[in-house]
Amino acid sequence: MSYGFSTINTAGQVIISDEMENLHFVGKATLSGNDGGDYGDFPEYGSVQGLENQYDSLDGRVIFTYTITTSGTPLVFIKPSDYTRWHAVLTQSYSGNNWTFKVIASGLDTSNAPSLYCFVNANNVPASSDNWGLLVQKSSTVKTFDSRLSPLAVDDGGSIVPPADPTDSAGLPTSTSGHSWNDANLDHDFRSTTRYNSDSLTTNLTYTDLMFSAPSLAQAVYQRQKDGYKRSCGDYGCCCQDHYSTALWWVFYRNTFRIRSGYFDAGWTNFAAGFAFSSNFEGGGWFGGGGGSFSTGSAPYSPKTINLTSNAYIIADSTRYD
């Protein structure tokens, strides 16, 4: 004889089962700090006189740090304070029962950090003192569902992938030669304002009450390099001297997400960036008698987009857990 317990919605999806462990709310992670924000523009680019231009601007980012103590493995939902910003969980780590999360947010404002709602299996949530509710178990010691422990209720979801090109200019940036010596005029927009894909939401809930969970490992690095050259010669073509210059800009991006009215978006936020400039000529000496070479680190890998796959996302109503 078959036995057990399951509930199925009108779409034929299993909502509660004695075999499948539902997630339950264990609490909000505690905000412990932020890195102060960075990369609103290319480091060092503006410090080279005459080089900074309209494309020096980047989207900027802040990395917020959170902690929570739980014996379970948390599934994290992000509820933005500012729904115009892009967010994603960068890393999660643990030591014993202490979990630490790093969350990236676009922009440079450190005052409106998102909230992190954490969900674990019912056995990892402190027992309720309520005497009434629905408890489902798959053994005498393993709970799969407990209505007294604020189980996760999913209101929407789907799968989404960001566009392969994270930059606002048409086409990817390239490396080109034949430019004038000391040409360091940036001609590519590395911001990501228009670079996102959207998925329609079906929920009628107020979007500013929604939170999302969207694990993703998609990241990208792209660079613009301009190599310059000039030959100068004395009278009658003698004593020629070759001049060389290189200007290089690079940006490292992470896949981030945004909720807006009726849509869930997958886009990009710059995580790090750098600018390097060198100028020299035959016979010795840096251009300008010093200060002609600048560097803010190298890109983490060669230009490409990696881990670009469709990722599942879950949408839930945060007000149920406040």
Lowest mean pLDDT across 137-146, 283-292, 303-312:
283-292
Higher-confidence residue: 182 or 79? Answer: 79
Residues 116 and 224 placed together within one structural domain of the fold: no
**pLDDT tens-place string over residues 17-75:** 777 889 999 999 999 999 999 999 998 887 665 566 778 899 999 999 999 999 999 99
Q: Give the pair of three-digit tokens for residue 312.
A: 């599942």
Q: Which 3 state secondary structure label does DSSP give 3? A: coil
**pLDDT tens-place string over residues 182-197:** 888 999 999 999 999 9
Residues 142 and 211 placed together within one structural domain of the fold: no
Residues 223 and 270 placed together within one structural domain of the fold: yes
Share of the chain above pLDDT 90, in %: 68
> 137: pLDDT confidence band, cut at 50, 70 and 90?
confident
Residues 125 and 22 placed together within one structural domain of the fold: yes
Whole-prediction pTM: 0.89
Residues 99 and 189 placed together within one structural domain of the fold: no
- Total domains present in the chain: 2
Higher-confidence residue: 283 or 13? Answer: 13
Residues 14 and 142 placed together within one structural domain of the fold: yes
Asked if residue 242 belongs to a domain, the reply is yes
| DSSP for 181-234, written as a single string | TT-----S----TT--EEEE----S-GGGEEEE-----EEEEEEEEEEEEEE--
Number of neighbouring beta carbons within 10 Å of residue 1: 2
Residue that terminates a domain, selected from 124, 140, 157? 157
For residue 285, pLDDT over 50 is answered with: no
Residue that terminates a domain, selected from 100, 129, 157? 157
What is the structure's pLDDT at 17?
72
Residues 116 and 178 placed together within one structural domain of the fold: no
Report DSSP state, residue 122. G
Higher-confidence residue: 133 or 14? Answer: 133
What is the structure's pLDDT at 240?
76
